[in-house]
């Protein structure tokens, strides 16, 4: 007899496909309502992670919810979801998008809870959330949204209604310019989620290393090291994007890569 699947509702073939350590995912075009947000991960990708790490009816949390990608993905696959978002504008957009998604999906999702709370992720344990079965999130990539030289940022500065960085809130870790201070506060946020997370449940953080001032800051690896003191770092999946335009960084002078990959770090609350 096949062994019972205690983790998710996937068939063996789908389980095996997800186990590959890398994957290519090129996000579909972003809807107009979420373009205002300067960085988000795609709902289509989030849904694949949620379907692997949870069963139907379980509860997902994104403590840095942005415009609600994780919550929309959770709704589409029959999971409850909560988000915490510091910026009231993004929280409002997220809840509007979630309500629109509810209307599209109809009666099958009406019993599910999907809500983004306006709040500070450092205080997540005080928000009277239910037991969480899975956490899926992506942090600010340090203060890189403040880097004026980034090509995407130049385009956003010349577009009406486009935010260049998340907020001007001093509690926003994306506004911290000292790397060690940023890392300490970010790791503290994720460690503070441990009381909410069910035992042996998983936490996925989507992140990449950061290039700044001619050197690389190993943000993904530093998060893995720091959170490995609180959770068990189980593995990584590498998200590849192969539809990005190459730029001639350092051409004829120095090695500078075009970085089109992110690390999806899997931790477990053992």
Place of tokens 């403590």: 63
Q: What is the CATH number of domain 12-268?
A: 3.40.50.150
Q: Record the pTM.
A: 0.88
**Given this model, what pLDDT does residue 136 score?**
98
Q: Tens digits of per-residue pLDDT, 150-181?
A: 555 455 345 555 454 445 666 778 788 889 99
CA dihedral 216, 26, 201, 265 (to 10 degrees): -20
**Given this model, what pLDDT does residue 141 score?**
83
Q: Which residues pair with 127 in a beta bridge?
A: none
- Give the Cα separation of 155 and 132 in Å (integer): 38
Ordered by start, the domain boundaries in the chain are 12-268
- Give the Cα separation of 48 and 203 in Å (integer): 14
Helix (H, G, I), strand (E, B) or coil at 3: coil
Contact 23, 237 (CB under 8 A): yes
**Given this model, what pLDDT does residue 1 score?**
60
Dihedral sign (CA 106, 115, 64, 77) = negative
Q: How many residues does the chain have?
A: 270
Question: What's the token pair of residue 44?
Answer: 């289509």
Across 46-63, average pLDDT = 97
Residue 4's alpha-carbon distances to 18, 78, 97, 236, 253, in angstroms, are 18, 20, 36, 25, 57
CA dihedral 264, 136, 219, 67 (to 10 degrees): 120
Question: What's the token pair of residue 91?
Answer: 């929280």
> How do the residues of the chain divide into helix, strand and coil, expressed in percent and rounded to 5?
35, 20, 45
Q: Is the pLDDT of residue 183 over 60?
A: yes
Distance of CA 185 to the CA centre of its chain: 17
Lowest mean pLDDT among 6-10, 147-151, 200-204: 147-151
Of residues 29 and 268, more confidently modeled: 268
**What stretch of H or E contains 115?**
strand 114-118
Half-sphere exposure for 183 (CA within 13 Å, toward CB): 16
């Amino acid at each position: 007899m096949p062994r019972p699947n205690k983790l998710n509702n996937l068939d063996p073939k789908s389980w095996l496909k997800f186990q590959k350590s890398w994957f290519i995912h090129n996000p579909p075009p972003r809807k107009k309502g979420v373009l205002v947000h300067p960085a988000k991960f795609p709902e289509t990708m989030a849904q694949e992670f949620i379907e692997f790490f949870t069963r139907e009816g379980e509860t997902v949390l994104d403590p840095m919810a942005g415009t609600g990608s994780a919550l929309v993905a959770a709704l589409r696959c029959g999971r409850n979801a909560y988000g915490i978002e510091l910026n009231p504008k993004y929280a409002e957009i997220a809840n509007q998008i979630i309500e629109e998604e509810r209307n599209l999906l109809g009666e099958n999702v009406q019993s599910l809870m999907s809500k983004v709370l306006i709040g500070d992720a450092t205080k997540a344990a005080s928000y009277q959330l239910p037991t969480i079965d899975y956490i899926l999130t992506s942090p600010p990539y340090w203060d890189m949204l403040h880097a004026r030289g980034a090509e995407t940022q130049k385009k956003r500065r010349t577009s009406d209604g486009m935010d260049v960085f998340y907020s001007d809130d001093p509690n926003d870790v994306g506004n911290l310019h000292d790397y060690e201070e940023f890392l300490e506060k970010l790791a503290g946020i994720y460690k503070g989620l441990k009381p909410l997370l069910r035992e042996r449940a998983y936490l996925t953080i989507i992140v990449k290393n950061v290039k700044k001032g001619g050197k690389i800051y190993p943000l993904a690896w530093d998060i893995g090291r720091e959170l490995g003191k609180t959770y068990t770092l189980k593995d990584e999946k590498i998200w590849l994007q192969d539809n990005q335009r190459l730029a001639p960084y350092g051409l004829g002078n120095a090695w500078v890569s075009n970085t089109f990959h992110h690390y999806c770090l899997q931790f477990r609350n053992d």
